[in-house]
Amino acid sequence: MTDNLSTDTFVVNAGRSRIAGQPLNPPPVPASNFYLPHDRLYARSHGTETSDALEELIGGLDRGRSLVFSSGMAAAGVVLNRLPVGATLAIPTDPYHGVDGIASEGETLGRWNLLRLDLADTQAWIDAAATADLLWLESPANPLIDVADLPAICGAPRKPGTIVAVDSTFATPICQTPLDLGADVVMHSATKFLGGHSDLLAGSVTVAEDTLYDEFRERRMLNGATIGALEAFLTIRGIRTLGVRMERAQHNAQILAERLADHVEISIVRYPGIASHPTHEVAASFMTGFGAMMSFDTTGPGERANAVCRATRVVHHATSLGGVETTMERRANITGQETMPPTLIRMSVGIEDVEDLWSDLTQALESTVGMSHS
């Protein structure tokens, strides 16, 4: 039924039972135990009917077999912690701070060797594929919004056994499908755009090969990282509108990025949809959309960026992202991100009327103009 459908149609229809008398929407199944004899023994090891439906939905979007987790970090952890002692892990220079924490701890404990590579340095990643055991790519990246040349990196010759994993949280399957480009693993923090309403924690890992699927499923069980019934239900409900939400959010992001780039109180805008972005051409070569994440620097000191975030009335001053509402924050305030440019504001663009968003941003910038010269 869902074969060969467009993505917008697939997200609405996949994961439904279509059995006479059954609910139209997969209901939450708040159960940990099941009657025997049956293949489903226990929710921690075998999930529930609700998580099955969510895995069908995300797996179809990512073009592979999906496993869902209690959070994005739980999903990332099963991939990163598969590395044996002495292995080499390649990560971006400025990855998501949770991933950076796992990677740095592993290096400190002597578990693995760590390579930190500029995400935009494609040749460095191609070279690393010949020596590293795991390439962890985050594209677009947080919070500089750089885009990796996924076709070139995923298609590069590799050392036997080398795994390429892509954190595609910012792009979502609407903008890119890394498995189609040659990646082995695609990971999402479903807390963000997939869930889309800032009301749940969830993560997913989708793989191209059954051997990795079996390994990650075992690791999920051992780590106790199974998603809850309500969270699975809410994530399914959120994904149903992923196509229309991303269409509107990307439309808004493109307009805001172009206007901010021309604003006298903004020194730089980082959004792959504008020509001035250093990885714009790479993104345009394979992505089907530029996403709804951007960052920009205000003029003046870091405190001016804080003041702009506090002065908005429509845009919410909050740290997470991917919801229907627009949020922004000064990223250098976040633990582990202190090395970011002091005036950098990261913004997750929502689905509000773009003119309301623009009016709000401009009044926040205008109300803090005096700080730009202090």
Helices 302-311 and 354-367 cross at an angle (nearest 10°) of 130
The number of C-alpha atoms within 13 Å of 178 and in the hemisphere containing its C-beta is 30
Residue 192 annotated in active site: yes
Reported in sequence order, the residue ranges of the chain that DSSP labels E, i.e. its strands, are 65-69, 87-92, 112-117, 134-138, 163-167, 185-188, 203-207, 266-270, 293-298, 316-317, 327-330, 344-348
DSSP class of residue 370 equals G
Cβ contacts of 120 within 8 Å, gap of 6 or more? 146, 147, 148, 278, 279, 282
Phi and psi angles of residue 215, each rounded to the nearest 5 degrees, phi first = -65, -45
Choose the catalytic residue: 65, 158, 192, 330: 192
Q: Confirm if 252 and 352 have CB atoms less than 8 A apart.
A: yes
Cβ contacts of 95 within 8 Å, gap of 6 or more? 103, 136, 138, 141, 142, 167
Q: Confirm if 147 and 171 have CB atoms less than 8 A apart.
A: no
Choose the catalytic residue: 94, 133, 146, 167: 167
Q: Confirm if 136 and 83 have CB atoms less than 8 A apart.
A: no
Residue 96 annotated in active site: yes
Residue 245 annotated in active site: no
Choose the catalytic residue: 44, 111, 116, 237: 44
CA–CA distance, 295 with 345 (Å, rounded to integer) = 5
* Residue among 320, 325, 321, 318 nearest 357 (CA): 325
DSSP code per residue over 200-227: ---EEEEESSHHHHHHHHHHHHHHT-PP
Cβ contacts of 4 within 8 Å, gap of 6 or more? none
Phi and psi angles of residue 371, each rounded to the nearest 5 degrees, phi first = -80, -15
Q: Confirm if 53 and 16 have CB atoms less than 8 A apart.
A: yes
Choose the catalytic residue: 62, 96, 248, 346: 96
Active-site residue numbers?
Answer: 44, 96, 167, 192
